[in-house]
Structure 1
Amino acid sequence: MQSPNAPEHPAHIVRIPHFLFIMRLVQIFLSVVILALMAFAITQLTNVFGTFGYNIFCCIYNFIGVGYLLVSVARAPRIWNCWAALVIDIFGVIFWISAWGSLAGWAALGNIAYDSSALDLCRHYSKTDQRKCNGRKGAWQASAATAGLGAIVWVLFVVHLIVYSIHLHRHRTAPETKHLPSSGRALTEEEKGAEMNVVSPQGVYSA
């Protein structure tokens, strides 16, 4: 039950289960971990920035997109938009399936080259170059871990998109939200004032 002193839930914001908020926080946390792993891998490997850079771009996308959704709901509800939230999820699904899929392919090739007993490249290096070779091996292992974490982020986007889409449909078709702008934005002060000044038929004809 909502406390009488609790702030009123803005009508234009879609009510969603609390576990979706937890999923958003997990996405941000995993993005930080992925960013750190990619930064390490880039320092050890060359000519792989295309794939690794794309994963870094996806992390930045999470910081901006998911960060906007979290901050707008908590601190600035007027800038929250239901369609923007939907688009962020859709692009998140597309971006992250490409990110972890491409990185998994690269990581598989790298780990075969450096970990296979038949193709262990490090054994061909001199002792002075062993540290460099081990660093490259660690970079490929970090890439494999990043692909796994990226897959988790992608799954979270898919689950969030499905659940949010269901609640968005219920929100837009509910009788109490029929007056909201179709653009998904909040009502302006003028629109709120005009709505309050509308007299209902029951108010006109009541005794």
Structure 2
Amino acid sequence: MAGRDHLLVLPPFVLAFRILQLVTAVVILGLSAYGVTFLSFDGDDLTLFTALATMIITVYIIVAETAAPIIYNYWAILGLDIFAIVFWIISFSLLASEVAAYQIVTYTECSYSYAGVCYYKRSRALEHLAKRDTTNVYTYRNAMAAASGLGGLEFILFVVTLVMTGIWLHRHRLAGGHCTPARAAAAPQTEPKPEAPAQPQGEYPVAPA
């Protein structure tokens, strides 16, 4: 069984932040999937990808820290935090800029509208066969705004975990720690003892005849 001496001894709240990152990513994934159901655009698509990537990242980190230390590598975790920060700042800011542009509701992307409800067909080629999905345009806009806001929260959470990981990584390295499990100490090999030189047999004087 792998030891835990290579793990960073982070404060307990960092693990709570990891769980919060995972839960928030699941919520954002649901909101983004709701948006893609009716209209696919770059801000929502990128947010959907980033949320899915965040779920993979956080599951790996939580499992590595709690159940499978053999897969733990703090350099990998540091890189994944940086990856998440870059993608979240792009995702939530792009989505927010696109949602903010829709102050006046239009129905140019709808098959038809009635009483503020947008009726959109998944496939115009199968107009007579496909069922219509409906959504209120205000609900749609608010859902995308919520996804953007939660994306900003994810960005802040990953900045915090990156800073904490960086500080404790530096302390760990100063203390001589490693990023992989320590190998089992090899059994000391006993060197063969040198043989004692043979004692010369004493010579006895021969008595004259």
Q: Distance in 1 between matches of 2:17 and 2:157?
A: 7
CA distance in 2, matches of 1:149, 1:197: 56
Measure, in 2, the Cα distance between the counterparts of 1:171 and 1:73: 15
Q: Are 2:61 and 1:69 aligned? A: yes
Distance, in Å, in 2 between the alignment partners of 1:86 and 1:146 is: 25
Runs of 5+ in structure 2 lacking a partner? 120-134, 190-209
Give the SS at the match of 1:113: coil
Q: How do 1:149-164 residues align onto structure 2 when only pairs under 5 Å count?
A: 149-164=150-165
The residue that corresponds to 2:34 in the other structure is: 40
Partner AA of 1:128 in structure 2: Y
Residue identity opposite 2:116 in structure 1: Q
Deviations 1:128-181 (A, max 9, x none): 363217623321111111111000000000011011100000001104x2xx3x
The runs of at least 4 consecutive aligned structure 1 residues that moved more than 6 Å come to none
Give the Cα separation in 1 of the matches to 2:113 and 2:58: 46
Which residue does 1:168 correspond to in 2? 169
Of 80, 85, 104, the match for 1:113: 104
Larger-Rg structure: 2
Q: Which moved more, 1:128-137 or 1:151-160?
A: 128-137
Contact 1:44 1:136 in 2 (8 A): no
| 3-state SS of 2:10 partner | coil
Q: How big is the alpha-carbon RMSD for the aligned residues of Structure 1 and Structure 2?
A: 2.5
d(CA) in 1 for partners of 2:18, 2:96: 23
Instruction: Name the residue aligned to 2:181.
Output: 186
Partner-residue secondary structure (3-state), 2:35 = helix
More helix by share: 1
Pairs within 5 Å for 1:91-130: 91-110=83-102, 112-114=103-105, 121=106, 128=114, 130=116
Quote the Cα distance in structure 1 between the aligned partners of 2:188 and 2:174. 24
Structure with greater strand share of residues = 2
Q: Which runs of 5+ in 1 are unaligned?
A: 1-7, 115-120, 199-207
AA partner of residue 118 (structure 2): K
Percent of aligned pairs sharing the same letter: 31
- What residue number does 1:78 align with? 70
In structure 2, how many angstroms separate the alpha carbons of the residues matched to 1:127 and 1:86?
48
Structure 1 position 39, deviation (Å): 1.4
How many residue pairs are counted as aligned between the two chains? 171
Q: 1:33 and 1:102 mapped to 2: Cα distance?
A: 18
Q: How far did 1:82 drift?
A: 1.0
Native 8 Å contact 2:99 2:141 kept in 1 = yes
Aligned residue type for 1:41: G
Matching residue of 2:143: 142
Tell me if the contact between 1:81 and 1:186 (Cα under 8 Å) persists in the aligned partners: no
Q: Distance in 1 between matches of 2:63 and 2:71?
A: 10
The TM-score with structure 1 as length reference comes to: 0.75
> What is the distance in 2 between the residues matched to 1:85 and 1:128?
50
Query: What is the rounded CA distance, in whole Å, between the counterparts of 2:78 and 2:17 in structure 1?
Result: 15
